[in-house]
């Protein structure tokens, strides 16, 4: 029996076309909640970037791909920072070798070193404000939970191999990668909430569409890929539903008899 459902935001819960949650998904989530099923956000976004969820309430938020978990009362229950020496190494790399836009995200704020057309394109795509340009303080260098690195696949391999040597990267868009401490993923956040609410992995379900959802969909008992997901995501899913714009969440919950 499903007792917990985890939802990605961009391309899963929210449409890239409308930047909103379809009414069918709102109604469906409220219906499963009325049956006592707990619902969670599982996103690569910073908590302050989640924005309007059309009045929906959630039992917890897995943000920054699992590096920052927040309960339904908006209290932090877990953080997983990148080692400070990796952050220092990246700042040196920016200065001495190659500088690329990098959003550094801590529990309390986000800052970017500079903005280019790729940063603007992603900001527009996900309908969030541009990060403020600035620098990390010395204390914040030990508190970075995620770096949004605007680099291509080849650059990613070089940076992870020589600079961010204690980190992994995941991406749902070719323009940038989410970088977190090695071993961290949305799966990490799921474990934290299963422990927090004393639930079993066999009672879990998740919806996703991006590369940063692969580990989550592989891990839960029932992984659902949206039809707008990439092939690699669909390959690990237990079921492929319709796209976010074609009532995919509602249709899948109906298919499995949850509403």
Q: How confident is the model at residue 75 (pLDDT cuts 50, 70, 90)?
A: very high
Domain ranges of the chain: 4-79+184-255, 84-181
How many CB atoms sit inside 10 A of residue 181's CB?
20
Q: How confident is the model at residue 252 (pLDDT cuts 50, 70, 90)?
A: very high
pTM of the model: 0.93
CB within 8 Å of 245: residues ≥ 6 apart: 15, 17, 18, 22, 228
How many CB atoms sit inside 10 A of residue 66's CB?
29
Confirm whether 85 is a catalytic residue: no
Give the tokens for residue 72: 């339904």
The answer to whether 4-79+184-255 and 84-181 have equal CATH topology is no
Does residue 104 register a pLDDT over 90?
yes
Q: What is the pLDDT of residues 78-87, one digit of tens each?
A: 999 999 999 9
Measured distance CA(106)–CA(76) in Å, rounded? 12
Q: What is the pLDDT of residues 136-150, one digit of tens each?
A: 999 999 999 999 999
Mean pLDDT of the chain: 96
Give the strands of the sheet with 222-225, arranged side by side: 76-79, 68-71, 60-63, 38-42, 4-7, 204-208, 222-225, 239-240
Among residues 8, 10, 178, 247, the one annotated as catalytic is 8
Fold of 4-79+184-255: Rossmann fold (3.40.50)
Quote the pLDDT of residue 172: 85
DSSP bridge pairs for 7: 41, 207
For the segment(s) 84-181, the CATH number from 3.20.20.20, 3.40.50.720, 3.90.1150.200, 3.30.1240.10 is 3.30.1240.10
Q: What is the pLDDT of residues 163-203, one digit of tens each?
A: 999 999 998 899 999 999 999 999 999 999 999 999 999 99
């Amino acid at each position: 029996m499903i007792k917990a459902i985890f939802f990605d935001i961009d391309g899963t819960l929210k449409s890239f076309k409308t930047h909103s949650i379809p009414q069918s998904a709102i109604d469906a989530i409220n219906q499963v909640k009325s049956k006592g099923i707990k619902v969670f956000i599982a996103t690569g976004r910073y908590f302050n970037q989640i924005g309007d969820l059309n009045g929906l309430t959630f039992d917890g938020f897995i943000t920054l791909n699992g590096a920052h978990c927040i309960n339904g009362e908006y209290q932090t229950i877990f953080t997983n920072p990148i080692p400070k020496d990796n952050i220092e190494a990246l700042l040196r790399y920016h200065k001495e070798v190659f500088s690329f836009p990098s959003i550094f995200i801590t529990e309390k704020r986000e800052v970017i070193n500079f903005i280019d057309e790729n940063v603007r394109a992603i900001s527009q795509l996900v309908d969030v404000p541009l990060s403020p340009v600035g620098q990390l303080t010395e204390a914040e260098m030990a508190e970075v939970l995620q770096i949004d690195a605007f680099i291509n696949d080849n650059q990613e391999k070089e940076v992870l191999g020589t600079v961010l040597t204690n980190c992994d990267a995941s991406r749902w868009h070719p323009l940038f990668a989410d970088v977190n401490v090695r071993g961290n993923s949305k799966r990490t956040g799921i474990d934290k909430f299963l422990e927090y609410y004393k639930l079993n992995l066999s009672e879990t379900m998740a919806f996703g569409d991006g590369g940063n959802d692969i580990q989550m969909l592989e891990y839960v008992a029932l992984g659902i890929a949206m039809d707008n997901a990439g092939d690699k995501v669909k390959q690990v899913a237990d079921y492929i539903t319709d796209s976010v714009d074609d009532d995919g969440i509602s249709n899948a919950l109906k298919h499995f008899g949850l509403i």
